[in-house]
């Protein structure tokens, strides 16, 4: 048995310790907002937070996620930074197909928690591993700046 705390709720899972968190979330807990894109930490679609830090769920065994706060896209609205990111995403119409956007939003929220007002270079550094085949990057960059501005307004 593995115990995971996901979006503030405890879940007991009967899964092997090495099972990647991605598949535990998707197939077992059935939180499907976290996406599969590559399985080897090359696309960022599966990005979730462990104690507020962005990790790739596809290469994180559930054993490493025990005793930590797991936040997924389904829970990010409860976070002030996360909800500002979501708002900025809607204001700028970032998403095209939307498939990569859970991971993009989780990556952006983690960045903004660390760096309230990141430069373009800092955004690239944090987000270059989040791929988007639809090509929404320029709006992602703008939306991160917009979310930072919303943060300043509410500070």
Footprint of other proteins (CB under 8 A)? 15-16, 19-20, 23, 26-28, 30-40, 42-43, 45, 72-74, 77, 86, 89-93, 95-102, 105, 120, 123-124, 127-141
Out of 5, 11, 36, 68, name the contact with ligand FES by CB under 6 A: 36
On the CB side of 7, how many CA atoms lie within 13 Å of its CA?
14
The answer to whether 56 touches 38, Cβ cutoff 8 Å, is no
Q: How far apart are CA 58 and CA 36, in angstroms?
A: 7
- Which partner in other proteins, ligand FES, none is near 151 (CB below 5 to 8 A by kind)? none
Q: Which is nearer to other proteins, 73 or 148 (CB)?
A: 73
Report the length, in residues, of the chain.
155
CB within 8 A of 90, min separation 6: which ones?
none
The residues of the shown chain that bind ligand FES, judged by CB under 6 A, are 36-39, 41-46, 56, 58, 95-101, 132-134, 136
């Amino acid at each position: 048995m593995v115990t995971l705390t996901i979006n503030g709720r405890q879940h007991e899972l009967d899964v092997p310790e090495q099972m990647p968190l991605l598949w535990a979330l998707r197939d077992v807990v059935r939180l499907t907002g976290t996406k599969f894109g590559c399985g080897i930490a090359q696309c960022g679609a599966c990005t979730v937070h462990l104690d507020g830090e962005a990790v790739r769920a596809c290469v994180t065994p559930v054993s490493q996620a025990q005793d930590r706060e797991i936040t997924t896209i389904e829970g990010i609205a409860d976070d002030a930074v996360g909800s500002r990111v979501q708002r900025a995403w809607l204001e700028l119409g970032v998403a095209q197909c939307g498939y990569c956007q859970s991971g993009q939003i989780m990556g952006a929220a983690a960045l903004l928690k660390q760096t309230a007002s990141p430069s373009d270079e800092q955004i690239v550094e944090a987000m270059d591993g989040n791929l988007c085949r639809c090509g929404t990057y320029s709006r992602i960059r703008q939306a991160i700046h917009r979310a930072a501005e919303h943060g300043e307004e509410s500070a």
